[in-house]
Amino acid sequence: MAAVERPFVEIDQVSMRYGGAEGTLALRDATLSVARGEFVAVVGPSGCGKSTLMKLVSGLWPSSAGSVIVGGQEVDRPLPMVGMAFQNPTLLPWRTILANVMLPLEVVEPHRRRLRAERAAYEAKARQLLAMVGLAGFEGKYPYQLSGGMQQRASLCRALIHDPQLLMLDEPFGALDIFTREDLWAQLQEVCLTLKPTVILVTHDLKEAVYLADRVLVMSSRPGRILAERRVPFPRPRRLDDTYTAEFQALVHELRDHINAARQGQETDHAA
């Protein structure tokens, strides 16, 4: 019998309170796991603790209770194996797009040590990633010379340059118009099918969640915990046209119903 592989991310009964004993309880007894190579989307009412969950998994904040294990190791400091992209692309304005994408290589080992000797190979990789997201020819430009969507693509390349085992995406397309967003879904899907990282995506956009994820987790209102989960059965690569099918729309509606119930405090646990 084949051995069952341990989940890559294991969050067990995690609680998180900001600001001491009287502070805000952001998460209570949140439990979830993510398999290696799986793409999970986390959705839920505004302020329910989604970003907090991301901070705990990436080691940016310690949890108040419970355990967070990534790659078999308890998370107790920022993890170098994580690539992150947020709603705001946060590119450094004084660096070119290529230099921005290469930034993690100057920080994360073993790349940091190798960078001087292997700069040409790393630069070729950065150019290849930029080409994958349609930014060939923009390597020497500065962030202000690119649109918001182009900056967001560059920040996605920066999140991927050091071959992260875990890609954490917190509303990465939230500030973009719907056409740019849909364009980037396709590019992210292609990147993920090629590089196969484990991905946790936080989003408010249920269509985005269903298009991109293998599994969608729905959080309760604050203090957040996982209320429901839904596996997305549609084959890959998914196309934008697929988002208009009855099956796709039904799944989006089902998730919306879960979130509406969560917003009204009807915290009925349900797994599908």
Ligand X SMILES: Nc1ncnc2c1ncn2[C@@H]1O[C@H](COP(=O)(O)OP(=O)(O)OP(=O)(O)O)[C@@H](O)[C@H]1O
- In the list 47, 62, 78, 137, the residue contacting ligand X (rule: CB under 6 A) is 47
Residue 24 binds ligand X (CB under 6 A): yes
Residue 11 binds ligand X (CB under 6 A): no
Site string for ligand X, 208-227 (x = CB under 6 A): --------------x-----
Cβ neighbours of residue 205 closer than 8 Å, sequence gap 6 or more? 173, 174, 181
- In the list 11, 39, 43, 52, the residue contacting ligand X (rule: CB under 6 A) is 52
Residue 50 binds ligand X (CB under 6 A): yes
Question: CA-to-CA distance for 116 and 122, rounded, in angstroms?
Answer: 10
Which region among 17-25, 140-148, 153-161, 228-236 touches ligand X (by CB under 6 A)? 17-25
Residue 46 binds ligand X (CB under 6 A): yes
- In the list 11, 26, 84, 206, the residue contacting ligand X (rule: CB under 6 A) is 26
Number of residues that bind ligand X (CB under 6 A): 12
Please provide the DSSP assignment of 224-272 as one string.
B-EEEEEE----SS--GGGGGSHHHHHHHHHHHHHHHHHHTT----EE-
Which region among 49-57, 128-136, 242-250, 259-267 touches ligand X (by CB under 6 A)? 49-57
Question: CA-to-CA distance for 83 and 168, rounded, in angstroms?
Answer: 6
- In the list 48, 102, 188, 199, the residue contacting ligand X (rule: CB under 6 A) is 48
- In whole angstroms, the minimum distance from the beta carbon of 217 to ligand X comes to 12
Question: CA-to-CA distance for 167 and 161, rounded, in angstroms?
Answer: 11
Question: For 88, phi and psi rounded to 5 degrees?
Answer: -95, 125
Which ranges of the chain would DSSP assign to H, the alpha helix? 50-57, 97-101, 111-114, 119-132, 148-160, 178-195, 206-212, 246-263
Interface with ligand X (CB under 6 A): 18-19, 24, 26, 46-52, 222
